[in-house]
Copies of this chain bind each other. A is one copy, B any other.
């Protein structure tokens, strides 16, 4: 079985459409939200049927914390942003996913949250691959 391919797990169709794969971590697939307005990553634990952080096992909770904080630190280093915003909302897409977003003073919507703000602006293919390379190098 390929790494990250856990039995019974299927990525939500909306997450699939809005983001692209960056790499596999131990528990999560790391994905890039295809929205060039902010450097915006998603961690998707490869566990079927889980909607809330507290429904993960204690070991998976610890793994997710480790992976989220590693990603946040790498993203902050790579982007030199002002502040990391992280969150698990799931009001629209119920499959558990954790957002890690690099925010900088004066970015779109600052200092408000990114969720629900304006309209997604996809990357050009070149910018997307160059940003993915940058993130991979930072982790």
A94: Cβ under 8 A from any B Cβ:
yes
Residues of B within 8 A of A91 (CB): 82-83, 85, 103, 110-112
Assess whether A69 is interfacial by the CB under 8 Å rule.
yes
Known: A52-B76, A62-B62, A72-B53. A113 touches B84 (CB 8 A): no
Check A83–B89 contact: CB distance below 8 A. Answer: yes
In the complex, A51 Cα to B53 Cα: how many Å?
22
Which of B69, B84, B87, B92 is close to A111, meaning CB atoms less than 8 Å apart?
Answer: B92
Cα A52 to Cα B103 with chains together (Å): 12
- Type the 1/0 row for A70-95, where 1 means its CB is closer than 8 Å to any CB of B: 10110010000011111111111010
Q: How many residues of A contact B (CB 8 A)?
A: 36
Q: Name the one of B61, B68, B88, B113 contacting A53, with C-beta atoms under 8 angstroms.
A: B68
For A111, list chain B residues within 8 Å (CB): 91-92
- Whether the pair B110, A113 counts as a contact (CB closer than 8 A) is no
Q: How far is the CA of A110 from the CA of B101 in the complex (A)?
A: 21
9 closest A-B pairs (Cβ-Cβ)?
A87-B87, A91-B111, A112-B116, A54-B69, A54-B73, A65-B65, A113-B113, A113-B115, A85-B89
